Chains A and B, each alone.
Chain A
Amino acid sequence: MSNAKILPTESTQSNQEQKETMSDGGRAVSQRPKENKITISNVELFYGAYKALHGISLTIPAREVTAFIGPSGCGKSTLLRSINRMNDLIDGVTLTGSIYIDNEDIYAPHIDLIELRKKVGMVFQKSNPFPKSIFDNVAYGPRIHGLRDKDYIDETVRKSLMRADLWREVKDRLHTSALDLSGGQQQRLCIARALAVNPDVLLMDEPASALDPRSTSKIEDLIGELRNDYTIVIVTHNMQQAARVSDTTAFFYEGRVIEHGVTKELFTKPVEKQTEDYITGRFG
């Protein structure tokens, strides 16, 4: 694709490596020296008096797909929503510990939530296109950040839709309501919308759980295409999906990370008994 994202601060060396990895043809991910994008350090989170996360520490490598798996209520979505501070919206949530993105503590007092959320995009479980046209949905992000230049916005919308693999389907009806799209198209629109503000990190909260198998596989293909340019964290209930799309996987249980490692290894040779029980379907 001609519209690859311009990576702002990454070293040329890692780009070089990426190309080499790709020219090898394989997904030789584990051999690549890892560069950490997000470092989660001893995070505890309370909903009022209820402790939802128990001292979580985790590193999330740059430009890879990290999957959070685990049974319902295990804290994986909660942790995901802590990475762009969406939990701040809920009354009575307190968080201790720190989360670093590019070595900056995002819970430090000087952090500007707007800049953080521009950098860390999010796609929700239930696709939530705004009740506006397809074009206005994608243009929403750039516009609220003060961009008015029509040509630039046109170009951003086009690129984002192409990147989300939706351009071909909607290019002739950009100004019709986004609510008329199918469920899978709506979710890809939400991805395009997130891409339009040029984030580094994409958080996906069960992005395909409400979709039919065909739309799901489109989303998965899309994640596969985006993983070279974005750091992706995906929460999923679907273990096959985690195995298919992710490079590393973290298994959560009752607010703790039980096991965290390279996806292939975690699924074939789990170290912990609980992980094994979960991925073999004995509980969850």
Chain B
Amino acid sequence: MEATSTTQTLSPGAGAFSTAKKRPLLAHPMTEKAFIFFARGIISVALLTLIALIADVAIDGYERLTWNFFTAFPSRKAENAGILAAWTGSLWLLLLTITIALPVGVGAAVYLEEYGSKGPFTKLVELCIANLAGVPSVIYGILGLQVFVRSLGFERSLLSGALTLALLALPIIIMASREALRTVPKGYREGALALGATRWQTTRTQVLPVAIPGIATGCILAFSRAIGETAPLITLGALTYVAQVPNSVFSPFTALPIQAFNWLSRPQPEFHTNAAAAITVLLAFMIMLNLLAIIIRAKYQTRQR
């Protein structure tokens, strides 16, 4: 008698925890498996698209990715043309844009989160910022052309370009920074203020250190988007043939996306190869920036504990 009952419980598929029972469709293990399969499929599509894109331009441009390509100015002959002016221009643009947009953007976010009251004015500012983030980049180009190039007389200089890109990046920086500031636990602020710290001391010593990984990640993403922008710089009138490395903020400039755009618009297929190579360089640059964002986040997360 005892022996029979033991065999019964041990027999597979007959126990109380067996999945062979009837269940509603949504709770069925097969539904779970199907969903996981579906989700993996979608991720694969996204990843494969990215890989295909990178591989395509990298293969097209591979033959031109030589040392000479990085150290030569543009030329009428495709095989002599290089991106020296373009990559130095892009680097200058990036550094200038960071210098302008980072303090303003983070400052605005700190003000809105830590100082500003939650009144109707703040609501209005929030609404404007959210809308600005959705404005097409070419509009920023038109604005930059009128304000920086013409009214302020900065001409078609790096400064005009960087100011325009800074405007473009600002809404994203502000929103990302505010998001990061919001994740700082209320207890840190209260704890510091209750000890007699001023708002600024609280912000500088408690809030910002905790929020920096989030702020940095958001800002890097904003800058990597700005550096890949072509439309506003074209509207601004960035030159396509520049045979000098920029030496001041008032230098005329070109940038990697502009150079690629220019080469693509030429009829000769050799220039298309150059464009592919320039795009590969730009992509590599952006991937590096994004990696930096990940590294900063990881580093600060381990330091938190």
Contacts and interface: CB of A to CB of B under 8 A. Distances in A.
Interface stretch (B95-103, B137-145, B186-194, B255-263): B186-194
A116 B209 CA distance: 26
Contact of B192 (A91, A130, A180): A130
- Chain A: interface residue count, which band? 20 to 34
B23 interface: no
Interface stretch (B45-53, B147-155, B197-205, B282-290): B197-205
B213 to A, nearest CB: 12
A114 B188 CA distance: 17
Given A128-B187, A130-B188, A91 B117 contact: yes
A177 interface: yes
A128 B305 CA distance: 14
B194 A114 contact: no
B194 A144 contact: no
Contact of A84 (B119, B189, B194, B205): B194
A271 interface: no
Contacts, number: 71
A140 B195 contact: yes
* Secondary structure dominating the interface of A: helix
Contacts of A128: 185, 187-188, 190-191
A128 B192 CA distance: 10
A118 interface: yes
A29 interface: no
A130 B194 contact: no
B201 A144 contact: yes
Contacts of B188: 128, 130-131
Interface string A58-89: 00000000000000000000000000101001
22 contacts: A86-B193, A89-B189, A91-B117, A91-B119, A115-B196, A117-B195, A117-B196, A122-B190, A124-B190, A124-B191, A124-B194, A128-B191, A129-B191, A130-B191, A130-B192, A130-B206, A131-B209, A140-B195, A140-B205, A144-B205, A180-B305, A194-B195
